[in-house]
Amino acid sequence: MDENLVEIPDFNKHWDKDLKITLFKDSERDDVLHVHLTGRIDTYNSDFFLGKLNKIFEFGITKLVFRCSSLEYVSSAGLGAFVTAYQRFEKHDGVFVFTELRPKVLEIFNLLGFNKLFFITNEVTEISYFLRAGDKAKKVVFPFSFFCPICEKKLLATKSGNFRCKNCKSIISISDKGEIKF
């Protein structure tokens, strides 16, 4: 058995065939929990998933790193479960960091603006920074992933300012807050 696994009372009492949730403690911080998600979060299991997040909250941990390399799909109901849980966690200095998102799931998060609500990164140093900084870090929006308003090509801005879309050559302006103008 893995020594980093976290046991929360009654957490594994109920399970879902389409979603596996494994909890690991952080190697550096006792107040951080790594939540490995495998499978799907959809209309049928979003309440189950929200219940699991509530169990984690009741256990007293409010800083979560969601490891999503095996998360294949998230429906709107699943996204709603993340938002509902986050609203509860945030009142207690909670932080949600998402890492290893698959491209399709990341695209949905970005399209719906979740990249402004949650911290999304694959950089280990950024995960640590977001966990330390909490709400103060939410003002950081760069690097900022978005779609060109003209040709819909996915683009990445590393800082605010004006630049040209590589695909359609349109000039796009990105503000310090991540607002797009063309």
Structural domain boundaries enclosing 175:
141-182
Q: What is the pLDDT of residue 28?
A: 83
Q: Are residues 46 and 84 both part of a single domain?
A: yes
Q: What is the largest CA-CA distance in the chain?
A: 56
Please answer whether residues 95 and 134 qualify as being in contact, where contact means their C-beta atoms are separated by less than 8 angstroms.
Answer: yes
Q: Are residues 134 and 147 both part of a single domain?
A: no
* DSSP conformational letter for 16: B
Q: Are residues 154 and 78 both part of a single domain?
A: no
Q: Are residues 151 and 96 both part of a single domain?
A: no
Q: Are residues 121 and 80 both part of a single domain?
A: yes
pLDDT tens digits for 113-153?
888 788 898 887 778 877 876 645 554 456 777 788 888 88
Averaged pLDDT score across all residues of the chain: 85
Q: Are residues 88 and 173 both part of a single domain?
A: no
Q: What is the pLDDT of residue 140?
A: 45
More confident residue, 44 or 156: 44
Classify residue 180 by burial, with Cβ atoms within 10 Å: 0-12, 13-18, 19+: middle
Q: Domain tally for the chain?
A: 2
Q: Are residues 12 and 101 both part of a single domain?
A: yes
Q: Are residues 116 and 161 both part of a single domain?
A: no
CATH of the domain at 27: 3.30.750.24
Q: Are residues 133 and 153 both part of a single domain?
A: no
Q: Are residues 60 and 110 both part of a single domain?
A: yes
More confident residue, 145 or 78: 78
Q: What is the pLDDT of residue 3?
A: 62
Q: What is the pLDDT of residue 44?
A: 96
Q: Would you call 25 helix, strand, or coil by DSSP?
A: strand
Query: pTM of whole model > 0.85?
Result: no
Give the phi and the psi of residue 165 in degrees, each rounded to 5.
Answer: -65, 130
Residue in the block written with tokens 């550096």: 28
Average pLDDT over residues 11-27: 89
Q: Is the predicted pLDDT of residue 105 greater than 70, yes or no?
A: yes
Q: Are residues 80 and 132 both part of a single domain?
A: yes
- Whole-angstrom distance, CA of residue 52 vs CA of residue 54: 5
Q: Is the predicted pLDDT of residue 1 greater than 80, yes or no?
A: no
